[in-house]
Amino acid sequence: MTHFISSLPKNERPRERCLRTGPDSLSLRECLAILLGSGPRKVGCLGLAEAIIARPGRGLNPQDEERAFFTAMESSGFSELNTIAGIGPARRAKILAAFEIGRRYSLFRGKRNPAKSTHRSRVADLGRSAIARIPEHFRQGAREWLGFVALHRSSELSELSIVERGVRTHVNIDPAELFARLLALRPRGFFLFHNHPSGDTTASIEDQELTARVDRISNALGVRLLGHGIVSAWGDSWVET
């Protein structure tokens, strides 16, 4: 991944592509790079943009990485920017001004298109919706994995985030890694998932103990464990709590 716009062909550079095909064709990294305009020597504006986004959401998929970035900026009052090398007063002011434009535009849109209801109806079966986020190739995997689907405060479900990968019969669990990734999203709750390559989705004693352990930690952190699902190529089941 290049950090320098000058090393890209002209038609692939963010600014040129933005003007040619529209800003929605850009990644968040490229949008920030255009906003920054330049970056420190040996880093470049693309590298600096990458450092800004990766700080709160490293290891997440691109969609959740963006959400973690916006959540961190919102919850920290933008003090997060003070700790990133290469972000001085001028660049910080640009980012703050861009967020303020976005905030005011959101208010403008809200006045033009008021929501019909402040409480959208919940999906009838949230658990099944979460399971539907698991790609088929993960169900058919020959090695065990453990991941989660977060329920955001907007009532949207995230994509599946894989936290650990193991062998055919088990996966080692690191709760610190699980909750580090999860808490970056500031979710309302989450579904825990892992697979059984054997096809038998009956919960083992270890699965039940893991569920209880994660539930205790999540309660202490104020994030609700909504369920622990076991999936395979032939079906799925939930660990009883």
Per residue in 178-236, pLDDT tens? 999 999 999 999 999 999 988 889 999 999 999 999 999 999 999 999 999 999 988 89
Domain span at residue 60? 5-112
Residue 101 in tokens: 């434009």
**Torsion-angle region of 124 (φ positive above 0: left; ψ -120 to 50: alpha; else: beta):** alpha
Query: Do residues 105 and 132 both lie within one domain?
Result: no
What pLDDT does 121 receive? 40
Query: Do residues 97 and 130 both lie within one domain?
Result: no
Query: Do residues 143 and 168 both lie within one domain?
Result: yes
pLDDT score of 169 more than 70: no
Query: Do residues 11 and 35 both lie within one domain?
Result: yes
Does 152 reside within a domain? yes
**Torsion-angle region of 195 (φ positive above 0: left; ψ -120 to 50: alpha; else: beta):** beta
Is residue 66 within 8 A of residue 156, CB to CB? The reply is no
Query: Do residues 148 and 233 both lie within one domain?
Result: yes
pLDDT score of 104 more than 70: yes
Tell me which residue of 207, 205, 170 sits closest to 192, measured CA to CA: 207
Q: What is the mean pLDDT of residues 91-115?
A: 78
The tally of domains found in the chain comes to 2
Query: Do residues 92 and 143 both lie within one domain?
Result: no
* Model pTM score: 0.61
Tell me which residue of 76, 68, 59 sits closest to 28, measured CA to CA: 68
Confidence of residue 119 (pLDDT cuts 50, 70, 90): very low
3-state secondary structure of 232: strand
Query: Do residues 38 and 135 both lie within one domain?
Result: no
Query: Do residues 20 and 107 both lie within one domain?
Result: yes
Q: How many Å from the N-terminal Cα to the C-terminal Cα in the chain?
A: 44
Confidence of residue 56 (pLDDT cuts 50, 70, 90): confident
